[in-house]
Amino acid sequence: MRLKTFAFKTSAALAVLGLSLTACSSNSSATKAVGGTSDSSTPISGGTFTYAEVTPIKNWQTQAARFYEKANVLNSVLDRLTYYDTEKGEIVGWIASKFESNDAKTEYTFTIRDGVTFSNGTPLDAAAVKANLDALGLGIESAQIQPNVDFSAYKSSEVVGKSQVRVTLKRSDANFLRATTSVAAGLVSPETLKLDNAGQSAISKIVGSGPFVFKSEKADEEVVFAKRADYKWAPATAKNQGAAYIDELVIKYLPEVAHRAGAAQSGQVDLVRGLQPIDEQTLKAGGGTVYAASGVDLTANMAAARIGSGKLADEKVRHALQSGIDRQAIKDTVLSDSYEIAGSIVNHKAEGYVDLSADLAYDPEKSKKLLDEAGWKIGADGIREKDGEKLEVTVSSSNNSVVIKPAFELIEQQWRAIGVKLVNRAGDNTFLTNALVDSKIEFFGTRQFAYGGLGPVFGPANNTQTLNADEELNSLFVKEQAATTDEEHLKLVGDEQRALVSEKALTLPLWDEVQVYGANEKAHVEFTSGTAPIFQSAWKSKD
């Protein structure tokens, strides 16, 4: 069987490499930093770095790490097999020093780096990798842990020789390797995998091989981690190939958005996620730094259409709502220079991005014409009606984005101008709990991790975006996953974007995903392609 070996630059230095989702020098290239001091200074070792997240986390189970609050912390606790370098635009080695596949993309072989250990001293060897892959691909029934959606093609794996793991897939999957870069594919010790659900959900019991280890926790207040002094297996492109510069990492929670910029500026915290646009200038004026961490690994922020909803079943209605959004007005009114208007369902910097901005142009007259053709006529109150029903739609979203609610408030005004009433429940996490699985809630305001193709996001019949499976799209997803060349794969990823946005209007893209962080003048930090802070290379200037 002929195997394709993936790019991994080898040298004598790589023998002592290790990778942490923490120190990839290229990630800063996808992050705009404004204000504050330059990150080009020589790092200083020592001290405590305090980071403020939005809300406390109850469940730390690795495969559930698809939310920022979890991923941004586990990023520094768990290593992965591979790492995505945004500057190079390629996957490089981490715990796997080499990786290859057969032409059909049904078999992948990973060569595991020697000398890597979990924080409890046990080896992160081929056997441990196999145990993790089985958990990711098959789930853990005894602990009620479901398989990772990005590993849906997984069939089995076996240890080959001393340090190799051969993975067999049920079908071709050109995105499998990219999925191994995800923090939700973080490697934990075999002992952790043997724990019940509660055990695997407790941060104090999760044992990884990353640059930080659990130290203490105060429920709903803070989690403290200590650096691992013997860490020496960061990603191949990491600036810092050894232990973290800082001695201690403190994670605090700051749900009140209005307090975040002040906390960073005053030095109460060194870094905080989720700045309001209005606070960005204030922080910069006070000497702080605003970081716009680009979500290369994520879809654009969007309003995903629930196609099981009667009101959105008609393609003309979806297209009318698509062209009824003035995205430039959202940028000018609600957002800041940290944000970029979406040109597709994927990030501008993502592989295979296709510019569909012409199909997203604001055209309210086109919207009105399409709605007329669909049989929705203007009622006495200005809202369109059909068969005695008002054209009233609801949007739900989490509060993870500080701009999501005001953005939909502006869309509410724009849609009213074409005769559509939008009920804005964006940012209401209580409402979201039921709305996630309720097809009567017409729109889900969201962004999702997408590693390569869009099949895992929109393909399953119970996906939370559309709550439905489109047969034509799923056929396209299968072709994309089965692509055997990069050229063919990227073309099909482009076809997926056109189908979702331009042809079917199943998703209404708004702006590229970006997480806006604020830092005080002493803090120096970079970010991954998934917007997570890289605490292994973070450091603080002296007074």
pLDDT digits (tens, 9 = 90+) for 20-51: 223 333 333 356 665 544 445 799 999 999 99
Mean pLDDT of the chain: 91
Whether the predicted pLDDT of 15 surpasses 80: no
Structure tokens of 245? Answer: 């510069």
Report for 37-41, 77-81, 82-86: range of highest mean pLDDT:
77-81
Looking at residue 379, what is its pLDDT?
A: 96
pTM attached to this predicted model: 0.90
What tens digit of pLDDT does each residue of 98-117 get?
999 999 999 999 999 999 99
Structure tokens of 215? Answer: 């130290």
Report, in angstroms and rounded to the nearest whole number, the Rg of the chain calculated over CA atoms.
23
**Residues in contact with 50: Cβ distance below 8 Å, sequence separation at least 6, in sequence order:** 250, 252, 268, 269, 270, 271
Token look-up 């441990």 returns 128
Apex 273 CA angle, 300 and 435, nearest 5? 50
Q: What is the mean pLDDT of residues 315-324?
A: 98
Looking at residue 88, what is its pLDDT?
A: 85
Looking at residue 76, what is its pLDDT?
A: 96
Looking at residue 40, what is its pLDDT?
A: 55
Amino acid, single-letter form, for residue 99? F
Q: What is the mean pLDDT of residues 465-481?
A: 94
CB atoms within 10 A of CB 230: 11
Looking at residue 29, what is its pLDDT?
A: 39
The answer to whether the beta carbons of residues 357 and 368 sit under 8 Å apart is no
Whether the predicted pLDDT of 64 surpasses 90: no
Alpha carbon distance 305, 456 (integer Å): 17
Looking at residue 542, what is its pLDDT?
A: 86
Band (pLDDT 50/70/90 cuts) for residue 354 is very high
- Tell me which DSSP letter residue 482 carries: T
Looking at residue 308, what is its pLDDT?
A: 82
Q: What's the longest Cα–Cα distance across the chain?
A: 76
What tens digit of pLDDT does each residue of 203-221 get?
999 999 999 999 999 999 9
Whether the predicted pLDDT of 313 surpasses 90: yes
Tell me whether residue 141 is exposed, middle or buried, using C-beta atoms within 10 angstroms of its C-beta: 0 to 12, 13 to 18, 19 or more: exposed
Band (pLDDT 50/70/90 cuts) for residue 2 is very low
Report percent pLDDT > 70 for the chain: 93
Report for 464-473, 482-491, 501-510: range of highest mean pLDDT:
501-510
Looking at residue 217, what is its pLDDT?
A: 96
* More confident call, 62 vs 345: 345
Whether the predicted pLDDT of 89 surpasses 90: no
Looking at residue 24, what is its pLDDT?
A: 34
Alpha carbon distance 45, 127 (integer Å): 35
Amino acid, single-letter form, for residue 77? V
Structure tokens of 116? Answer: 């890597």
Alpha carbon distance 265, 88 (integer Å): 34
What tens digit of pLDDT does each residue of 384-421 get?
999 999 999 999 999 889 999 999 999 999 999 999 99
What tens digit of pLDDT does each residue of 164-213 get?
999 999 999 999 999 999 999 999 999 999 999 999 999 999 999 999 99
Q: What is the mean pLDDT of residues 327-342?
A: 97
CA-closest candidate to residue 541, choices 335, 287, 161, 190? 287
Structure tokens of 333? Answer: 């009114």
HSE (side-chain half, CA atoms, 13 Å) at 410: 16
Looking at residue 31, what is its pLDDT?
A: 66
HSE (side-chain half, CA atoms, 13 Å) at 117: 9
CA-closest candidate to residue 517, choices 306, 344, 274, 296? 274
Report percent pLDDT > 90 for the chain: 86
Coil vs helix vs strand at 90:
strand
Looking at residue 529, what is its pLDDT?
A: 93
Alpha carbon distance 128, 121 (integer Å): 13
Looking at residue 336, what is its pLDDT?
A: 96
Alpha carbon distance 472, 543 (integer Å): 60
Report the residue count for the chain.
543
Alpha carbon distance 492, 484 (integer Å): 11
What tens digit of pLDDT does each residue of 245-299 get?
999 999 999 999 999 999 999 999 999 999 999 999 999 999 999 999 999 999 9
CA-closest candidate to residue 72, choices 223, 233, 209, 201? 223
Looking at residue 239, what is its pLDDT?
A: 87
Looking at residue 246, what is its pLDDT?
A: 98
Q: DSSP assignment of 294-312, as one string?
A: E-TTBBPEEEEE-TTSGGG
